[in-house]
Amino acid sequence: MKYGLLLYDDPANANDFGTPEMDAEMQQWFAFTEELTNAGKNLGGEALNPVETATTVRVRDGKTVTVDGPFAETKETLGGFYIIEAENLDEAIAWAAKIPSAPTGSVEIRPIMEFDG
């Protein structure tokens, strides 16, 4: 099965670039991604720029309405995602638990919708 792992975290937990803490964190992300890829489970993924850069679009009555900021104001924001291949939910949970941001934030596991034929 394919799963989307959506990574949420409080931006306050983020390390600043150029600091030794951030370098150490980046090593964890590289190591996790490499492990996932070597296991043949990595179907893609990206890190997202912070919510301050977000724009939300809605089309209402045929008109495009654009506002600054994310859809919902919450402390934990979507920071990135992986798409993985896993045998079942237990395997997806095991991968999610290894994600470097799991100890501070949360990982939402969403099965990818499959369309037959």
Partner 1 sequence: MPARISPVDHAFRTEWAPLVATLLRETRSLQLAEDVVSEAFVEASVRWRTDGAPRRPGAWLLTTARRKAVDQIRRQQRFDERLPVLAADLDDPPDERAHHLVDDQLALIAGCAHPALDAEAQVALTLRYVCGLSTEQIAHSFMVPTETMKKRLTRAKSKVDAAGVPFTVPDHERLPDRLTAVCGVIYAVFNEGYTSSVGPELVRGSLCDEAIWLSELLCELAPDDGEVHGLAGLILLTDSRRYSRTDANGLPVLLEDQDRTDWDTGKIERGLRHLARSASSSGIGPYRLMGSIAGLHARSTSVETTPWARIAGLYGALIALHDSPVLRLNQAAALAWSEGPATGLALIDELAHELDDYSYFHSSRAALLAKLDRTDDAVAAYERAIALTSNEAEIRWMTLRHSSIAGEA
93 part of the interface to partner 1, by CB under 8 A? yes
90 part of the interface to partner 1, by CB under 8 A? yes
Q: Which residue, 68 or 114, is less far from partner 1 as judged by CB? A: 114
Q: Which 17-46 positions form the footprint of partner 1 (CB under 8 A)?
A: none
88 part of the interface to partner 1, by CB under 8 A? yes
One of 89, 97, 104, 108 touching partner 1 (CB under 8 A):
89
**b/e per residue, 33-42, with b = 16+ CB within 10 A?**
eeebeeeebb
CA 43 to chain centre: 13
- Could you tell me what percentage of the chain is helix, strand and coil, using 3-state DSSP and rounding each to the nearest 5? 30, 35, 35
Instruction: Please choose, out of 48-56, 61-69, 88-96, 99-107, the segment that lies near partner 1 by the rule CB under 8 A.
Output: 88-96
